[in-house]
A and B are shown apart, each in its own frame.
Chain A
Amino acid sequence: MADKEILMEVKDLVTRFYTEDGVVMALEGVNFAVYKGETFALVGETGCGKSVTSLSILRLLPVSGKTLRGEVLFHDEESKRRLGIKKEGPFDILKLSSKQALRMRGFSMSLITQDPMTSLNPVYTVGDQILEVLQLHKKLSDKQAKKEALRLLEDVELTPAEDIFRKYPHQLSGGQRQRIVIVISLAAEPALIFADEPTTALDVTIQARVLELLRELKEEFNTSLVLITHNLGIVAEVSDRIGVMYAGRVVEIADKYTIFKRPLHPYTQGLIAAVPKITEKKDTLSFIAGTVPNLIRPPSGCRFHPRCPYATDICKEEIPSMEEAEPQHFVECWNVDEVIKDLEKEECE
Chain B
Amino acid sequence: MREYIAKKLAIAVLVLIGVYTITFFLTFMLPGDPARVSLGQHGSEEAVELIRQQWSLDEPRYVQYVSYLQLFIQGEMGKSFRYYPRDVIELIRYRFPVTAYYGLWSIIFAVAVSIPLGVAAAYKQNSIIDNIAVLISQIGVSLPNFWLGMMLIAIVAVRLGWVNPVPEVQYGYYWTPIGFFASLKDYILPILTVGTGMLASNTRLTRSSMLEIIREDYITLARAKGLSERTVVLKHALRNALIPVVTNVGLQFLLLVGGAVLTETVFGINGIGKLYIDAINYRDYPVVIALTLIYTGGVVLINLIVDLLYAKIDPRVSLR
Interface residues of A (CB under 8 A from B): 58, 60, 62-63, 102-107, 110-111, 113-115, 118-124, 132-133, 136-137, 168, 170, 181, 184-185, 188
Contact = CB atoms under 8 A, between A and B. Distances in A.
A184 B226 contact: no
A177 to B, nearest CB: 11
Contact of A110 (B125, B225, B236, B240): B225
Contact of A113 (B221, B227, B240, B313): B221
Contact of B224 (A106, A115, A122, A123): A106
Given A168-B315, A168-B316, A170-B316, A121 B224 contact: no
A279 to B, nearest CB: 36
A120 to B, nearest CB: 6
Contacts of A121: 218, 222, 236, 240
Given A121-B236, A122-B314, A123-B315, A137 B218 contact: no
Contacts of B221: 111, 113, 119-120, 181, 184
A185 B240 CA distance: 22
Given A123-B239, A136-B225, 6 more contacts: A60-B224, A113-B221, A133-B225, A170-B316, A181-B221, A184-B221
Interface string B298-320: 00000000000000011110000
Q: Kindly name the residue among B215, B217, B228 whose own CB sees the greatest number of chain A CB atoms within 10 A.
A: B217
A185 B220 CA distance: 12
B216 interface: yes
A118 B224 contact: no
B314 A123 contact: yes
Given A121-B240, A170-B316, A132 B217 contact: no
Nearest to A107: B226
Contacts of A170: 315-316
Nearest to A59: B223
A122 B315 contact: yes
Nearest to A171: B315
Nearest to A170: B316
Highest count of chain B CB atoms <10 Å: which of A114, A133, A188? A133
A121 B224 CA distance: 13
B312 to A, nearest CB: 10
A115 B217 contact: yes
B85 to A, nearest CB: 55
A236 B240 CA distance: 40
A80 to B, nearest CB: 16
A130 B142 CA distance: 46
Contacts of B223: 60, 105
Nearest to B219: A121
A5 B222 CA distance: 30
Interface string B110-123: 00000000000000
Contact of B217 (A118, A124, A137): A118
A40 B227 CA distance: 26
Contacts of A114: 217
A113 B316 contact: no
Contact of B316 (A107, A119, A122): A122
A60 B222 CA distance: 11
Contact of A120 (B125, B218, B239): B218
B218 A119 contact: yes
6 contacts: A102-B228, A105-B224, A106-B226, A120-B218, A123-B239, A188-B226
Contacts of B315: 122-123, 168, 170
A136 B236 CA distance: 15
Closest 3 CB pairs of A and B: A106-B226, A111-B224, A105-B226
Contacts of B236: 121, 124
A132 B221 CA distance: 12
A115 B217 CA distance: 8
Interface string B198-229: 00000000000000000111101111111110
B292 to A, nearest CB: 38
B217 A113 contact: yes
Nearest to A106: B226
Contacts of B225: 105-106, 110, 132-133, 136, 184
Contacts of B218: 118-122
Nearest to B226: A106
Nearest to A55: B220
Interface centre among A60, A62, A104, A123 (most CB of B within 10 A): A123
Nearest to A99: B228
Contact of A111 (B125, B216, B220, B227): B220
Contact of A119 (B217, B226, B228): B217
B226 A102 contact: yes
B216 A118 contact: yes
B40 to A, nearest CB: 58
Contacts of A105: 223-226
Contacts of A136: 225-227
A160 to B, nearest CB: 20
A60 B228 contact: no
A110 B228 CA distance: 15
A118 B221 CA distance: 10
Contacts of A184: 221, 225
Contacts of B220: 60, 111, 113
A16 B217 CA distance: 21
B313 A132 contact: no
A132 B224 CA distance: 12
Contacts of A62: 215
A58 B224 contact: yes
Contacts of B125: 63
A168 B226 CA distance: 22
A285 B315 CA distance: 41
A122 B241 CA distance: 12
A188 B224 CA distance: 12
Contacts of B228: 102
Contacts of A133: 225-226
Contacts of B224: 58, 60, 105-106, 110-111, 113, 185
Nearest to B123: A63
